[in-house]
Structure 1
Amino acid sequence: MKETMMAFIGHYGYAAVFISMMLGIIGLPLPVEFVMLFAGSIVAATQLHMTGLIAAAWLGAIAGMSVNYGLGRTVGIASIGKVTKYIHLDENKLTQLAVRFQKSGPALIVIGYFVAGLRHAVPFIAGASGMPYKKFIVYAWSGGLLWISAFALFGQKFGRHWHSLIKWLHHPVAVLAIVIVLCLALLLKKKIFSSLSHASGVK
């Protein structure tokens, strides 16, 4: 996957970054974080510039978030629940979360970028809950810029040493560290969903 993404971005440049980020946010199984890491790593070897990469990825993320928001407004909770039930968010939970979303929504929009699953569900819930688009897009803009900048700048900084990093990641200590980080991320995701459910009155 990484070789394909690298070739895609290297050949089509900013357009590839935009499309990849948009489709990844909409829900296609694309490693959107790695898209920016890989994009940042080839800046020195191409005519691309980091500012342009961040802008293209940001616009792609905003486009994807807007599409999901629009689907939430038009499709509704029942249809969304058929998809999000696989991440432990069935229709009943989504209904109560939509009510709660009016208060906690802004924070969720920003945090959601950094949590797989939540990233895709949040704009759906925002649309289904009736959050005004003007309010939604302000937090989608700021959260997206923060998320993309962090990964893009990391990729730029370590891009020259990418092959060394890949070799290091195969070291047992690195593998253990990655497993621990993934476990912590899953616990955080579970805690967020659990807290929201309790706050919304879900038993």
Structure 2
Amino acid sequence: MDIAKELIAQYGYFAIYGMLALGVIGLPVPDEILMTFVGYLTSTSVLNFKLAVLVSFLGAITGMMGSFFLGRKLGKPLLTSHGKWIKLTPARLAMAERWFERYGPWTIVIGYYIPGIRHLTCYFSGISGMGKRQYFLYAGVGSLSWCIVFNLIGYYIGVIT
């Protein structure tokens, strides 16, 4: 987290955008802690709340779209050829695809609040062949609500301390 603090201190909103975009793709960035810290910075007037939410949303949605397209282009062939290493047989993959086609849109919205699941839903949306517009709608709702909630948590932590 010290690196995140340094990056935000030096690059401000650009650092928030970049860290969230890379974190959603799957790099080890503590997204929830980052968002709470950004919210805290808005309570101390270091950052503007509305701009912080907007930049956070744009970073998150950029990462989600990147993951979606990676899943669409590389996901199925990669899982088909190397899935055996993680005990993912073609039958299990087909079962996961059917489940995701049925519940996928809401999984994207709800899964955004669960670390690890957030990353998988993005990739599985692409793998399952979900439409870009549908994905963008549900991913947008999930990421915007997530950004607002965690920025508010950080903001109120800053207000009460």
Give the TM-score range, shorter chain: 0.7 to 0.9
Give 1:114 deviation, angstroms: 1.1
- Classify the secondary structure of the residue corresponding to 2:3: helix
CA contact (8 A) 1:21 1:57 kept: yes
Partner of 1:22: 21
The unaligned stretches of length 5 or more in structure 2 are none
Give 1:45 deviation, angstroms: 4.1
Letter in 2 for 1:152: N
Give 1:160 deviation, angstroms: 5.0
- CA–CA distance in structure 1, aligned partners of residues 154 and 89 of structure 2: 38
CA contact (8 A) 1:21 1:64 kept: yes
Partner of 2:8: 9
Structure number with bigger Rg: 1
- CA–CA distance in structure 1, aligned partners of residues 68 and 75 of structure 2: 10
Partner of 1:55: 54
- CA–CA distance in structure 2, aligned partners of residues 144 and 91 of structure 1: 31
Question: Structure 1 residues 5-14 or 61-70, which shifts more?
Answer: 5-14
Task: Kindly indicate whether structure 1 or structure 2 has the higher relative contact order, using CA contacts under 8 Å at least 6 residues apart.
Answer: 2
Give 1:91 deviation, angstroms: 4.8
- Classify the secondary structure of the residue corresponding to 1:151: helix
- CA–CA distance in structure 1, aligned partners of residues 89 and 47 of structure 2: 44
Q: Which residue of 84, 88, 91 corresponds with 1:90? A: 88
Give 1:139 deviation, angstroms: 0.3
- CA–CA distance in structure 1, aligned partners of residues 79 and 66 of structure 2: 13
Instruction: Count residues with an aligned counterpart.
Output: 158
* TM-score scaled by length of structure 2: 0.88
Percent identical across equivalent pairs? 33
**C-alpha distance 45-123 of structure 1, shift in aligned 2 (>3 A):** same
CA contact (8 A) 1:78 1:91 kept: no
- Classify the secondary structure of the residue corresponding to 2:126: helix
Alignment of 1:20-169 (within 5 A): 20-80=19-79, 82=82, 90-92=88-90, 93-159=92-158
CA deviation profile, 1:90-117 (whole Å, cap 9, x unmatched): 3543332112222201110011111122
- CA–CA distance in structure 2, aligned partners of residues 143 and 46 of structure 1: 26
CA contact (8 A) 2:43 2:156 kept: no
CA contact (8 A) 2:20 2:31 kept: yes
**C-alpha distance 77-91 of structure 1, shift in aligned 2 (>3 A):** farther
Alpha-carbon RMSD across the aligned residues, in angstroms, is 2.1
- CA–CA distance in structure 2, aligned partners of residues 45 and 11 of structure 1: 17
- CA–CA distance in structure 1, aligned partners of residues 32 and 160 of structure 2: 18
Letter in 1 for 2:124: I
* TM-score scaled by length of structure 1: 0.71
Letter in 2 for 1:19: G
CA contact (8 A) 1:6 1:39 kept: no
Letter in 2 for 1:119: R
CA deviation profile, 1:55-80 (whole Å, cap 9, x unmatched): 11111110111011101111132424
